A and B are shown apart, each in its own frame.
Chain A
Amino acid sequence: MSEDTPVLRARSLDLGYGGEPVLRGVDLEVRRGELWFLIGPNGTGKTTFLRGVLGTLAPLAGQLELEPELRDRRRLGYVPQRCELNPTLPTTVREFVRLGFVRSTVPRGERRATRERALARVGLENRARASYWSLSGGQRQRALVARALVRRPRLLLVDEPTEGLDVAAEDAFRRTVVELNREQGLTLLFVTHNLHLAARIATHVALFELDGRVTTGSASELLEHDVIERAFGISLDLASREGS
């Protein structure tokens, strides 16, 4: 497989519910090692796009192609916006993370070591036996990332992970994501309303607009003052890019 083969390619893609498109004519190509931020106002279809990639929503028109190794979705990692766990249930961090192995390609004999590596990667190696409910909001988000990482993903989808986190937790989360992308070469699609975070770490941006269209480009092109003002109706000067 060539390094230049797209991990994901959308062509004239329409996605929606009940036959009614939310997204229209999306063209987007994601390559290995890219860190994409999907930004846009509420209701513009960012999570809908992730559902399309996950295969839980079929295209209404057009094509959404994944590289061959991803077609059965076994090496897709997904960090949801929220977790539906019943808060009265007893569960530990290790049990929570173990859920990520369902339909994965990781052999049974390697699962324990994989889980421990994933927990270490997000800084929770000492909390494996702790109750999931004893974790702070930021730690729970990192546990969600560990749960996605145990699948040894080639593509990681992250849906608004920093919502409700304080500045320190958000910063810890940002560092984890940057490490995964830059040190391990993991390809990421990151849905967020946090434009400052996008400005700091995104390599590419997809701007979802209210008419269902999606504009793609480099972070420096799309996080321009004028583009943000047109899309969000606000005047915002974003901080400069991290490491550039």
Chain B
Amino acid sequence: MIESFLGSWELFGTTWMVGLLIAGVLSVVGVWIVARDHIFLGAAVAQASTLGVAVALWLAGAAAGLRSLESDAGATAFAVAASVATAWLAARVGEGRSESHEAVTGWVFLLAGSIPVLMLAHSPHGLEEVQRLLFSTLLTASAGDLGFFAAIAIATVWAAVALHERLLLVTLDPELAGALGLSRRAWAGALAVWLGLAVGLSIRSAGTLYTFGCLVLPALIAKNVCREVSPMLWVSPLVAVSAALVGFVLSTGLDWPPAHTSVGLLAAGLPLAWGWRRLRRD
């Protein structure tokens, strides 16, 4: 099985590298999502990226002058814009009291789930693209994606190391962070942009399932195996990258879709982590 995986490297090396980088980056962002208990926000942001892609395809079909939006770059730009805007708006709404955070993210999720299909219902090519995103495949990852994710992975590692203490405080206890002079609004905005950027870029390369799976499952596993939040920042990406790698090896040997295999492994790992925490009794 490993030989077959290594043999596939020449053809799919970029795909596997992009998949591993996506897993690593999203699993660090996911620590914030899980720590703040905003898991549904992750799903809503991923869904909103799909809406961004749909808007790009719809505009490209509606006006001849906007045909370039059909390109990878155009659709990715719209996906990123939609996910960053959703994450940022959700963070702002969370500050108010008129509606709960869950209600707003639920509304975004449903809106972004239904509108793309309606917009592209009469465009066979567009609808196919939306279904591809929802289905999740890593096989379309390009060298450009690899460059993007390498850059975002470096930025993520830098942020996790250099801003570790502040990140931890903002994640764990935003009220104290505000009292100690950190701007709650600026930090919530920055984290939302980080989430939106990572999810928006990932959606085009890996689809909704892989993106959402790598965002929340490794962090949930890390939460259950760690005794403190601080080590979650390295345990979560370790779990994500390991599961993705094993998933890619299995998928090559068994001819399974790689994204689904990796997410299936992570999902299977979570009950084991729950069991571990129960055994440890804390």
Contact = CB atoms under 8 A, between A and B. Distances in A.
Interface of A: 54-56, 72-74, 78, 80, 83-86, 88-92, 95, 98-99, 101-103, 131, 133-134, 147
A18 B182 CA distance: 21
Contacts of A91: 172, 228-229
B177 interface: yes
Nearest to A144: B176
Interface in B195-246: 223-224, 226-230, 232
A133 B229 CA distance: 13
A154 to B, nearest CB: 15
Chain B interface, >50% SS class: helix
A73 B181 contact: yes
B179 interface: yes
26 contacts: A74-B181, A78-B180, A80-B176, A83-B173, A83-B176, A84-B173, A84-B175, A85-B173, A88-B37, A88-B223, A89-B223, A89-B229, A90-B224, A90-B226, A90-B227, A90-B228, A95-B229, A99-B172, A99-B173, A101-B165, A102-B165, A102-B182, A103-B180, A131-B282, A134-B282, A147-B176
Nearest to A133: B282
Contact of B166 (A73, A74, A102): A102
A115 to B, nearest CB: 13
B168 A99 contact: yes
Contacts of B42: none
B36 interface: yes
Contacts, number: 70
With a 10 A CB-CB cut-off, give which of A55, A56, A134 has the most chain B CB atoms.
Answer: A56
B166 to A, nearest CB: 6
Given A84-B175, A89-B223, A102 B180 contact: yes
A54 B176 CA distance: 11
A23 to B, nearest CB: 18
Contacts of A78: 176, 179-180
Residue picked from B36, B178, B180, B232, most chain A C-beta under 10 Å: B180
B176 to A, nearest CB: 7
A101 B177 CA distance: 11
Contacts of B168: 99
A54 B182 contact: no
Contacts of A85: 172-173
B169 interface: yes
Listed from nearest, the 3 A-B pairs whose CB atoms lie closest are: A95-B228, A131-B282, A78-B179
A88 B224 CA distance: 9
Contact of A92 (B166, B172, B179, B227): B227
Interface string B261-282: 0000000000000000000001
